[in-house]
C-alpha cells in the first residue's frame, strides 16, 4: 500500500521546488558574492584583501566572536540549567527575560547601550570619571554583541532539557556522582547537539551583527569597524570590489563555522558509536 | 540495613503530600508501598533515598540519622520508573558509572571495574549486550540494566519506583520472580513503589497501603488480603461487591423482590462488602438471602470464569468468579437468571470506617 502523498508527481514537484528555491535563495547569492569580489580580476582582489583596514576589521570581528561565544556559552548553560532544574519564584519571568534580545530590534538595543554607557549616560558619566570609554570603542561593540546573541544557547537548551527531565541526573547522583561528574558525564553529552547548534548560531550572529554594533561603533576605520560595517562603508564609498571582498570574507567565516560543526558532529558520533 | 522513618512529613506549598508517617523496615526485608497516584508513596520513597527532603521528621538507616545526609553519600540503589538509563552510554558504561564516579582514592582499577560490571551483567543475563546503547534494548532488558547499575555500588538499600509498571504483563511476571530470587540470594533491604496490588501482594514480605498521604495498613500479603482494616484497603486490593440500605428488624429490604436477613444488626443504615469469589450462585434463593441477578457478561480469565451480574437492588453491577468446573456444572449462559448467595460479609463501621465481619444469613433452602 502506498503512503499518503507518496505519488511520483507529488514527489518530483516537491523535490524540484526544494532544489530550485534553495538554489535561488541560498546558492545564487553566495556565488554572486564570489563573482563580484573577483569582478576586476585577481589583482584588485588581493589589494583589497591585504588592505590594512580590512585586516583590522577581520581581527576585530574575530576578537568579538571569540569573546562573545564562550561568555554566552557559559551564560546560556547556566540559564538553561537554572530554568529547567530548579523551581523558584520568578522562574517564568526569567524565561521571558531571556527572550528580550530577540524581541527588541538590535538598533534599539544599541541605542539603549549608547544612552546608558555614553558620555552623557548615567553609567557612562561615572565610567568617564574613571577614564573608561565603552562607547565608540571595541568594548562597547562587544557588550552589545553579547546582548544581542545571549538567548541563542539558552533557547536551544531549554526545550531539550525540559523534555529530557532530570531523571538521569538524579540517577547519577544516587550513584554517587558529584556536581562536576554529573555535568560532564550526563548533562553535557545529552545536550551536545543542541549546544553545538547554539554556539554556531551565536557565532554566526556575533560575526554578522550589524544594527546594534553600528550604533555604538562610531565607524572609526582601522579601530571600530567590523566586517559587516566595513561592507557598508566600502559600498557607500563606491568601492564595490572592496565591499564584496569583505562580504566574501564573512561568507567564508560562516562556511568555516559550519565545517567545524560538521567535524564535531562526526567526531562525537564516532566516539559514542556502539 | 534497617530503615526507620520517624514522624516524616512533606508539604509542597500548601498541599501536604505526606502526613507525619512512622514506619520501620527490617534488615533484608522486601517492602512494597502500595497506593493510588497521589497517595504519597513515591514522596515517601524519594525521602528515603534523599532525593526529597522531609518537612519534618527523621530518616534512620540502622542507628544512623541520615536525614541531612546528601543522596550521593547515602549509598542507596535507586531504580527509576522509566529506568533513566544514561542514553548516550553503552550498557557497560551505564553499569560502570557508579564505580567510575567514586573519588580517585576509592575507585577500583579498570580491570576490577570490568570484572565487576561483567559479573553483574551476567547476573542479569545481559553480558552479550554490554556494548549496546539503551535505545537498542527492550523494556525488560533496560529494566535489568538499571537494576544492575543500581546494584553496582553495592547498596545496602535498594529502592524501586514502579519497577515493572511500563512492561507488558508476561515480562512483568518473569521479572518479579527473578527479583524475588535475586533478593533471596543477596539479602539487601528493598522498598518498592507500585499501584498494582497484584505486584505488591506477590513480591513483598510486607505491604504498606497508602492513601492521601497516610499509611492505611501495614501487613503481610496474606493477612492484608484476608483482613483489610478499612474500606479503602478492601477496595484497593481487589474487585469489590457492595450492598447498602436500611436495616429494619434484622432484615435489609432491597426493593420489591430482594432482601437479606441480618439477624442481630441494629436498625439503621448498613454498608456491606464482599469479594467476587465470596459470591455463590444458586437457582433458588436461600432462607436468609433473596438476591436475584442476571448474568450480563462472561469472561474466562486464567483459572477462573468472571461473571458480571446485573442487579436491581444495587447501583453497581456485581461480579462473581467461578472455577471452570463450577461454571460448566451450573450451565450458565448470558442472560441466565439466578440468585446470589453471599459466602462472607463485612460491614463498614459507620463511625470509624473499619471493617467488621458479619454472621451470614441462613444458607438453608427457602422452602419450609
Q: At B331, which CATH number?
A: 2.40.50.140
* Claim to verify: residue B222 and residue B244 sit in the same structural domain: no
* Optimal mutation site among A160, A161, A164, A175, interface B, most CBs of chain B within 10 A: A175
* Claim to verify: residue B68 and residue B201 sit in the same structural domain: yes
> Which of B84, B88, B152 comes nearest A167 by C-beta?
B84
Tell me the pairing of strands B241-248 and B268-274: antiparallel
Q: Work out the angle at residue B171's Cα, subtended by the Cα atoms of residues B170 and B174, and round it to the nearest 5 degrees.
A: 90
Residue B244 makes CB contacts below 8 A (sequence gap 6+) with B269, B270, B271, B272, B314
Contact B314, B254 (CB under 8 A): yes
User: Could you give the CA distance from residue A217 to residue B34 in angstroms, rounded to a whole number?
Assistant: 67
The three-state secondary structure class of B92 is: helix
What's the mean per-residue pLDDT of chain B?
Answer: 90
Q: What is the mean pLDDT of residues B241-267?
A: 85
Q: State the smallest CA–CA distance between residue A79 and chain B in angstroms.
A: 23
* Claim to verify: residue B114 and residue B193 sit in the same structural domain: yes
What's the mean per-residue pLDDT of chain A?
Answer: 89
Residues making up chain A, counted from first to last: 274
Q: Give residue A1's pLDDT.
A: 57
Q: Which DSSP helix (H) or strand (E) runs through B43?
A: helix B41-49
Residue B363 lies in a domain: no
Q: Do B71 and A189 touch (CB under 8 A)?
A: no
pLDDT beyond 90 at A144: yes
Contact A239, A53 (CB under 8 A): no
* Claim to verify: residue B224 and residue B269 sit in the same structural domain: no
* Claim to verify: residue B104 and residue B246 sit in the same structural domain: no
Q: Which residues of A touch B75 (CB under 8 A)?
A: 176
* Claim to verify: residue B347 and residue B290 sit in the same structural domain: yes
Which string of DSSP letters, residue by residue, matches B181-223? HHHHHH--EEEEEES-HHHHHHH-SEEEEEETTEEEEEE-HHH
Q: Do B101 and A177 touch (CB under 8 A)?
A: yes
Which cell is B271 given?
454498608
Range of lowest pLDDT (A66-75, B37-46, B286-295): B286-295
Q: Do A175 and B149 touch (CB under 8 A)?
A: yes
Q: What is the mean pLDDT of residues B354-363?
A: 79
* Optimal mutation site among A87, A169, A176, interface B, most CBs of chain B within 10 A: A176
Where would I find the H helices in A175-239?
A: 179-182, 188-208, 211-217, 227-236
Q: How confident is the model at residue A105 (pLDDT cuts 50, 70, 90)?
A: very high
Higher pLDDT, A69 or B361: A69
Q: Give residue B367's pLDDT.
A: 41
> Which of B51, B87, B89 comes nearest A170 by C-beta?
B51
Q: Do B88 and A171 touch (CB under 8 A)?
A: no
Task: Fold for A43-271, please state it.
Answer: MetI-like fold (1.10.3720)
Around Cβ A115, how many Cβ atoms within 10 Å? 14
Q: Do B82 and A272 touch (CB under 8 A)?
A: no
> For the complex shown, is ipTM > 0.90?
no
Sign, CA torsion A249/A251/A257/A259 = negative
> Which of A167, A172, A272 comes nearest B97 by C-beta?
A172
Which cell is A131 given?
577614564
Q: Which residues of B touch A272 (CB under 8 A)?
A: 88
* Claim to verify: residue B216 and residue B244 sit in the same structural domain: no
Higher pLDDT, B223 or A274: B223
User: Could you give the CA distance from residue B163 to residue B141 in angstroms, rounded to a whole number?
Assistant: 12
User: Could you give the CA distance from residue A233 to residue A225 in angstroms, rounded to a whole number?
Assistant: 9
B74-119 per-position pLDDT tens digit: 989 999 988 899 999 999 999 999 999 998 888 999 999 999 999 9
User: Could you give the CA distance from residue A99 to residue A116 in angstroms, rounded to a whole number?
Assistant: 21
Q: Which residues of A touch B50 (CB under 8 A)?
A: 174
Residue B366 lies in a domain: no
Q: Which residues of B touch A268 (CB under 8 A)?
A: none
State which residue of chain A sits closest to B98, comparing Cα positions: A175
* Alpha-carbon torsion, ordered A68, A70, A72, A73, to 10 deg: 150
Which cell is A265 given?
558532529
**Residue where one domain finishes, among candidates B208, B229, B250:** B229
Give how far Cα B134 sits from Cα of B80, B87, B126, B143, B273, Å: 14, 6, 12, 10, 47
pLDDT beyond 60 at A273: no
Strand order in the sheet with B318-323: B279-282, B337-342, B292-301, B304-311, B318-323
Give how far Cα B19 sits from Cα of B45, B50, B57, B216, B357, Å: 14, 18, 10, 12, 30
- Helix and strand totals (H; E) in chain B: 10, 22
Total beta-carbon pairs less than 8 A apart between chain A and chain B: 71
> Which of A170, A172, A189 comes nearest B88 by C-beta?
A189
Considering its fold, how many domains does chain B have in total? 2
Q: Do A170 and B132 touch (CB under 8 A)?
A: no
Q: Give residue B298's pLDDT.
A: 93
User: Could you give the CA distance from residue B260 to residue B251 in angstroms, rounded to a whole number?
Assistant: 6
* Claim to verify: residue B98 and residue B246 sit in the same structural domain: no
Contact B169, B1 (CB under 8 A): no
Which cell is A250 given?
564573512
Which string of DSSP letters, residue by residue, matches B13-42? TTEEEEEEEEEEE-TT-EEEEE--TTSSHH
> Chain A: which residues have CB within 8 Å of chain B?
167-168, 170-178, 181, 185-186, 189-190, 192, 272, 274
State which residue of chain A sits closest to B91, comparing Cα positions: A274
Q: What is the SS3 string spanning B124-190? A: CCCHHHCCCCHHHCCHHHHHHHHHHHHHHCCCCEEEEECCCCCCCHHHHHHHHHHHHHHHHHHCCEE
Where would I find the H helices in chain A?
A: 8-22, 28-37, 42-50, 52-85, 91-98, 100-103, 106-117, 122-129, 138-149, 151-164, 167-174, 179-182, 188-208, 211-217, 227-236, 240-272
Q: Which residues of B touch A170 (CB under 8 A)?
A: 51, 71, 78, 80, 84
Q: What is the mean pLDDT of residues B248-269?
A: 84
Q: Give residue A2's pLDDT.
A: 65
Q: How confident is the model at residue A272 (pLDDT cuts 50, 70, 90)?
A: low
Q: Do A186 and B86 touch (CB under 8 A)?
A: yes
Q: What is the mean pLDDT of residues A110-136?
A: 85
* Claim to verify: residue B152 and residue B278 sit in the same structural domain: no
Q: Which residues of B touch A177 (CB under 8 A)?
A: 72, 97, 101
Residue B334 lies in a domain: yes
A245-263 per-position pLDDT tens digit: 999 999 999 889 889 888 8
Q: Do B85 and A168 touch (CB under 8 A)?
A: yes
Q: Do A167 and B80 touch (CB under 8 A)?
A: yes
Residue B367 lies in a domain: no
> Which domain range does residue B345 map to?
239-357
Q: Do B133 and A177 touch (CB under 8 A)?
A: no
pLDDT beyond 70 at B14: yes
Q: Do B75 and A176 touch (CB under 8 A)?
A: yes
* Optimal mutation site among A171, A184, A269, interface B, most CBs of chain B within 10 A: A171
Q: State the smallest CA–CA distance between residue A186 and chain B in angstroms.
A: 7
Q: Give residue A267's pLDDT.
A: 81
Q: Do B101 and A190 touch (CB under 8 A)?
A: no
Q: What is the mean pLDDT of residues A143-159?
A: 94
Q: What is the mean pLDDT of residues A94-103?
A: 90
User: Could you give the CA distance from residue A57 to residue A207 in angstroms, rounded to a whole number?
Assistant: 11
Contact A127, A134 (CB under 8 A): yes
> Which of B50, B74, B88 comes nearest A190 by C-beta?
B88
The three-state secondary structure class of A133 is: coil
> Chain B: which residues have CB within 8 Å of chain A?
49-51, 71-78, 80, 82, 84-90, 97-98, 101-102, 131-133, 136, 146, 149-150, 152-153
Amino acid at each position: 500500500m502506498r503512503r499518503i502523498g507518496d505519488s511520483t508527481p507529488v514527489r518530483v514537484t516537491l523535490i524540484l521546488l526544494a532544489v530550485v528555491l534553495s538554489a535561488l535563495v541560498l546558492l545564487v547569492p553566495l556565488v554572486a558574492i564570489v563573482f563580484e569580489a573577483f569582478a576586476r580580476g585577481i589583482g584588485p582582489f588581493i589589494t583589497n584583501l591585504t588592505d590594512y583596514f580590512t585586516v583590522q576589521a577581520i581581527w576585530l570581528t574575530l576578537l568579538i566572536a571569540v569573546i562573545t561565544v564562550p561568555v554566552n556559552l557559559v551564560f546560556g548553560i547556566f540559564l538553561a540549567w537554572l530554568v529547567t532544574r530548579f523551581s523558584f519564584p520568578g522562574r517564568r519571568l526569567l524565561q521571558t527575560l531571556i527572550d528580550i534580545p530577540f524581541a527588541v530590534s538590535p538598533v534599539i538595543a544599541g541605542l539603549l547601550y549608547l544612552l546608558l554607557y555614553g558620555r552623557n549616560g548615567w553609567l557612562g558619566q561615572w565610567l568617564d570619571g574613571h577614564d573608561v570609554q565603552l562607547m565608540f570603542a571595541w568594548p562597547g561593540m562587544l557588550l552589545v554583541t553579547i546582548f544581542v546573541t545571549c538567548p541563542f544557547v539558552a533557547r536551544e537548551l531549554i526545550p531539550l532539557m525540559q523534555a529530557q527531565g532530570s531523571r538521569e541526573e538524579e540517577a547519577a547522583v544516587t550513584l554517587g556522582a558529584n556536581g562536576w561528574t554529573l555535568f560532564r558525564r550526563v548533562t553535557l553529552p545529552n545536550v551536545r547537539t543542541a549546544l553545538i547548534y547554539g554556539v554556531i548560531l551565536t557565532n554566526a550572529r556575533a560575526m554578522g551583527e550589524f544594527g546594534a554594533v553600528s550604533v555604538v561603533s562610531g565607524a572609526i576605520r582601522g579601530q571600530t569597524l567590523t566586517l559587516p560595517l566595513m561592507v557598508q562603508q566600502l559600498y557607500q564609498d563606491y568601492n564595490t570590489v572592496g565591499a564584496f571582498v569583505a562580504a566574501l570574507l564573512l561568507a567564508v567565516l560562516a562556511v568555516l563555522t559550519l565545517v567545524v560543526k560538521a567535524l564535531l558532529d562526526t567526531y562525537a558520533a564516532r566516539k559514542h558509536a556502539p | 540495613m534497617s530503615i526507620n522513618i520517624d514522624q516524616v512529613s512533606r508539604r509542597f506549598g500548601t498541599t501536604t503530600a505526606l502526613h507525619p508517617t512512622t514506619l520501620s523496615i527490617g534488615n533484608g526485608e522486601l517492602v512494597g508501598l502500595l497506593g493510588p497516584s497521589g497517595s504519597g508513596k513515591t514522596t515517601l520513597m524519594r525521602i528515603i533515598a534523599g532525593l526529597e527532603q522531609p518537612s519534618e521528621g527523621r530518616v534512620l538507616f540502622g542507628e544512623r540519622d541520615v536525614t541531612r545526609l546528601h543522596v550521593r553519600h547515602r549509598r542507596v540503589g535507586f531504580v527509576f520508573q522509566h529506568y533513566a538509563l544514561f542514553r548516550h552510554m553503552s550498557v557497560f558504561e551505564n553499569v560502570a558509572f557508579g564505580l567510575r564516579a567514586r573519588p580517585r582514592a576509592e575507585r577500583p582499577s579498570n580491570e576490577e571495574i570490568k570484572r565487576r560490571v561483567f559479573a553483574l551483567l551476567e547476573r542479569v543475563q545481559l553480558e552479550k549486550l554490554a556494548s549496546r546503547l539503551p535505545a537498542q534494548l527492550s523494556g525488560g532488558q533496560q529494566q535489568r540494566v538499571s537494576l544492575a547499575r543500581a546494584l553496582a555500588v553495592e547498596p545496602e538499600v535498594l529502592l524501586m519506583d514502579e519497577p515493572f509498571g511500563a512492561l507488558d504483563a508476561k515480562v512483568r511476571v518473569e521479572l518479579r520472580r527473578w527479583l524475588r530470587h535475586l533478593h533471596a540470594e543477596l539479602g539487601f533491604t528493598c522498598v518498592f513503589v507500585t499501584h498494582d496490588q497484584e505486584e505488591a501482594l506477590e513480591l513483598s514480605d510486607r505491604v504498606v497501603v497508602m492513601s492521601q498521604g497516610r499509611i492505611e495498613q501495614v501487613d503481610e500479603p496474606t493477612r492484608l488480603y484476608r483482613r483489610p482494616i478499612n474500606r479503602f484497603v478492601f477496595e484497593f486490593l481487589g474487585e469489590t461487591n457492595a450492598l447498602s440500605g436500611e436495616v429494619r428488624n434484622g432484615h435489609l429490604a432491597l426493593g420489591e423482590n430482594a432482601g437479606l436477613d441480618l439477624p442481630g444488626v441494629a436498625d439503621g443504615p448498613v454498608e456491606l462488602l464482599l469479594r467476587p469469589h465470596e459470591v455463590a450462585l444458586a437457582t433458588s434463593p436461600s432462607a436468609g438471602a433473596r438476591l436475584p441477578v442476571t448474568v450480563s457478561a462472561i469472561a474466562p480469565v486464567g483459572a477462573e470464569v468472571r461473571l458480571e451480574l446485573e442487579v436491581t437492588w444495587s447501583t453497581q453491577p456485581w461480579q462473581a468468579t467461578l472455577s471452570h468446573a463450577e461454571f460448566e456444572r451450573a450451565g450458565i449462559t448470558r442472560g441466565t437468571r439466578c440468585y446470589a448467595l453471599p459466602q462472607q460479609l463485612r460491614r463498614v463501621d459507620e463511625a470509624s470506617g473499619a471493617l467488621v465481619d458479619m454472621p451470614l444469613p441462613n444458607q438453608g433452602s427457602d422452602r419450609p
